[in-house]
Structure 1
Amino acid sequence: MSRMFASLQIKNYRWWFFGGLVSNIGTWMQRIAQDWLVLTELTDNSGTAVGLVMGLQFLPILFLSAYAGVIADRYPRLRIVQIAQAFMGVLAVILGVLVLTGTVELWHVYILATLLGIGAAFDAPARQALVNDLVPSKLVPNAVSLNSTSFNSARLIGPGVSGLLIAAVGTGWVFLINAASFAGVLVSLFVISRNIPANTQPRVPRKRGQVVEGIKYVARRPTLIMIMVLAFVVGTFGLNFPVFNAVMATTVFDADAEVFGLLGTIQACGTLAGALMAARRQGSRLKFVVGGTIGFGITVIAACAVPWLWLYAIMLIPTGWAAVTFLNSCNVTLQMTVDPRYRGRVMALYMVLVMGGTPLGSPLMGWLAEVLGARMSLCIAGLISLVAGLWGLWYWNKHAPQGELRRRVRRIRVRFTGR
């Protein structure tokens, strides 16, 4: 098997990968259906309402993930993921039934989005840290990259299928199909639980101050500080493309549900390509953390200026590639450099910053789209991300070993100029 898919040689990881792929497809279908339900059925094309739903979905991550990280370090991560996945599957059933019975209201979506966020808050740190328990340490970068491949393959399939299903049978059935997809990951987790040794995870004993202890661990390491700052800025302002695509599709290009779903699928082409390239990558990922941030800012700014729908769709490909390069590089760097005793808490802090800023960023970007227009909202997100990437370049140069950044720049120049 090629280096790109090396982790799939591990039986437990194969179950994890394919079970997660099925569930991720359903999750992306629900995301598109939920945005479309709020945008066109429960409101009159309100970008603010769509942003608020996204914000409420990620708000629990902001407040609960630190504690969830302690739980992930203290208790079996596999069991935590099993419980969280089952809980989120039940929520999908409830939303589907509400829609199909014609009783759904906007406040129902707000409550269910918040509950979904609670499940995700406990699922994410355990899920992220569990990768180290499934594969040998030398395969962790590859496994993390293949996780991104699974997620983005689902993102490639899910939105397009969701758009077609919305047009054919409505949003309610999409939610029920997502509920059924959780069976895939639950089956895979059951098989893994019968195969994985009981002592693979180092347990942290219960004591006071463990959340603060994890924060102090990060604060003493410049590399981790840089990743956390960039994760917060890009996650809060830049990674709001469900909102951006919704308002661009409806208010700028006057598109329907199928086109809205297709935009997400096209962007996923870029993210899938970026994830597959990352699976082959070896060595330091810090240059891709900084480079991915800068590239993301530039491509977002370019996307906001294009005059035609087809060109906007094309620009989503490099935007997706840059975004997944940044996120994957952050994840791998954290997984490979953090002490296993702190891994759950550090990954939780990372998830707080990269996703927990969404309750601030999504409503803000949706509001800016209503006040200033969709293009200007997208441009502001790109500018903020670009400035953050340039700051990261400066910070990396300041704290890197003497001359490291200069040597890297020289190697790049030699590669392209021959001198």
Structure 2
Amino acid sequence: MNYKKSPFASLRIRSFRFQWSADSMMTWGSEMETLILGWYILVATDSPFLVGLLGALAFSGTLVAPIIGVIADRISRKIMLNVLRTCAGFLAFSLLILVVTDLIKPSYVFIIAGLTGLMRSSDNVLRQSLIADTVPSHLLMNASGLARTTQDLARIIGALLGATLLSRLGLGWAYVGVTGFYAFSVLLGLGITSIRSNKPIHAVNPLGELKQGVSYMMDSRVIQPIMFLAFLVNATAFPLSHGLMPIVARDVYGRDENGLAQMVATFAVGALIGSALMASVIKSSRPERLMMLGMILWYLLLIVFSQMGLYGFGLVLLALIGASISFCMISMSVVLMTFTKFEMRGRVMGIRMLAVYGLPMGLVIGGWLIEHFGVSVMITGYAIIGLISVALSIVRWPELITGFHLKYKQR
């Protein structure tokens, strides 16, 4: 079927409409949860290290994501997605009960956050695979840009709503909102279309197929650098925006939870603008080049931000950082989906999630660095390491700039 190119072309596909809506609800809930629990742990423990550890637990599922990818290549990805989201909803409801009964403790929060993290990484594997399954290749850039807006809108709505409920009504009502969003994501997910593999389930050898996926990725001239760069940005660039923002809000700018929400929302507005531009305006035939440009700009902006003590200028820089992240990560997703075969898609996306393990490492180490050396040293040091690594990657894989040859496409 032909779809007229427009900023919302992918939304004319029924399955993608339902997935976009379901992903939005899920991400709104998870962003609310991240802000609420991050602020709770900071206030309850006064430890940047524990805030970083909490953020790291959100990605505990990266170790099981490859196995989820193997299974997703053989059974309904739609069913798997909805089961995982149902489990996340029950965990949020459990924490709500602890709040209502006044039994909540930081230790319980860490346990539930770790279990929720097991779901979150696998959720990302499945949603990316479903997009590649149901959207034509010529609309992947548009679909990826629109899919990214679910995260950007969630950071705006989730942050502002979470902070408002937390400051005015308390932790209990804030978690009513989180649980409700998770429930709506499951209901909307029922409308997603899933393509099932022709290979019988009884013929699956999970470890054997995982090894096959690793071998496929290692042989790919395209996927090798993408995996390296994905790990790099997760370890050295994402920690600021995905876990350590409460520390910056309180210790650098002297703000409360509402100031934190304003910072997160400003960052998300920039990311949303970047995603919208990627979906509707930017038509790059070489997304790998755009990915590298966005990555370099991202690191340079982090260095400037680390030296900026004025709140107003800091907000502007956060918006620009958000836009650069969208340029980089959407382009990275398009490259990966374009050059991956259908029957390998779940495994590749699952193994790709291992790169996200750089984020919990970066969060824990970053929290320790902040406690001993301060926020500015931590952000600047991470950004310099990132820029040096980007330069080395271009030397190792010059195709990141010259462009990958079409012979590698879905081979």
Common fold: TM-score over 0.5: yes
1:191 to partner: Cα distance: 2.5
| Count of residues paired in the alignment | 394
CA contact (8 A) 2:41 2:106 kept: yes
1:265 to partner: Cα distance: 0.3
Match of 2:210 in 1: 211
1:201 to partner: Cα distance: 4.5
> Residues of 2 paired with 1:324 and 1:25: CA distance?
18
1:10 matches 2:8: no
CA contact (8 A) 2:61 2:122 kept: no
> Residues of 2 paired with 1:395 and 1:172: CA distance?
51
Match of 1:376 in 2: 377
CA shift digits 1:326-377 (9 cap, x unpaired):
1111111111110111111111121220x22222111111111111011111
CA shift digits 1:167-206 (9 cap, x unpaired):
10122321221111122221222123xxx3x655454741
1:57 to partner: Cα distance: 2.1
Change (3 A) 1:393 1:318: farther
CA contact (8 A) 1:59 1:114 kept: yes
CA shift digits 1:8-49 (9 cap, x unpaired):
111221121123223322221111001011111x212x1111
Q: Which runs of 4+ in 1 moved over 3 A?
A: 198-205
Match of 1:254 in 2: 254
CA contact (8 A) 2:217 2:224 kept: yes
> Residues of 2 paired with 1:141 and 1:389: CA distance?
23
Q: How does 1:9-408 map to 2 (within 5 A)?
A: 9-40=12-43, 42-44=44-46, 46-61=47-62, 63-192=63-192, 196=193, 199=195, 201=197, 203=199, 205-207=203-205, 208-240=207-239, 241-280=241-280, 281-282=282-283, 283-353=285-355, 355-397=356-398, 399=399, 404=402
CA contact (8 A) 2:85 2:186 kept: yes
Q: Could you say what the CA RMSD is over the residues aligned between the two structures, in angstroms?
A: 1.9
Quick one: which amino acid aligns to residue 53 of structure 2? L
* Gaps in structure 1 of 5+ consecutive residues: 406-419
> Residues of 2 paired with 1:386 and 1:91: CA distance?
39
TM-score, normalization by structure 2: 0.91
1:285 to partner: Cα distance: 0.8
CA contact (8 A) 1:100 1:173 kept: no
CA contact (8 A) 1:65 1:349 kept: yes
| Greater share of helix | 1
* Gaps in structure 2 of 5+ consecutive residues: 404-411
> Residues of 1 paired with 2:244 and 2:393: CA distance?
25
Report sequence identity in percent: 26
> Residues of 1 paired with 2:132 and 2:242: CA distance?
30
> Residues of 2 paired with 1:26 and 1:101: CA distance?
22
